[in-house]
Structure 1
């Protein structure tokens, strides 16, 4: 099966960023390297950090979509 780029819906994107922001707020480690100054500029906002991780494709969350033949396709 060929590697293909996953296009997320706005709902999937919001769910992934929101879930990751909650993880970050609860103390999960960052998946992206940020300097102390960058973190301070973002005012320690977990949503902004999660959005950066999403844009760099570093979010450790997968989306599962149902396929027509009842199988599911998982994309990270």
Structure 2
């Protein structure tokens, strides 16, 4: 049961991950996905990276 719970992120964890990645992008970090010309917002770009599953951040629950 704990393994299944570990695979699912809460909405708060998702918001924190997307926010942290958006901050990195706004400070000049290179995007990890192919950027289309329509996306210039770091939050939208971070959401796309999250949907792709390639954000290099990890959630540690204690």
- Normalised TM-score (structure 1): 0.70
More strand by share: 1
Q: Secondary structure at the match of 2:24?
A: helix
Normalised by the length of structure 2, the TM-score is: 0.85
**1:6 Cα deviation (Å)?**
1.6
Of Structure 1 and Structure 2, which has the larger fraction of its residues in helix? 2
Question: How large is the RMSD of aligned CA atoms in angstroms?
Answer: 1.7
Q: How many residues align?
A: 59
Q: Which residue of structure 2 aligns with residue 70 of structure 1?
A: none
Structure 1 match to 2:38: 41
Distance in 2 (CA, whole Å) between partners of 1:27 and 1:61 is: 17
Which runs of at least 4 in structure 1 moved beyond 2 Å after TM superposition? none
Residue 48 of structure 2 corresponds to residue 52 of structure 1: yes
Q: Which sections of structure 2, spanning at least 5 residues, go unmatched? A: none
Which runs of 5 or more residues in structure 1 are unaligned? 67-76
Task: Answer with 1 or 2: which has the greater Rg.
Answer: 1
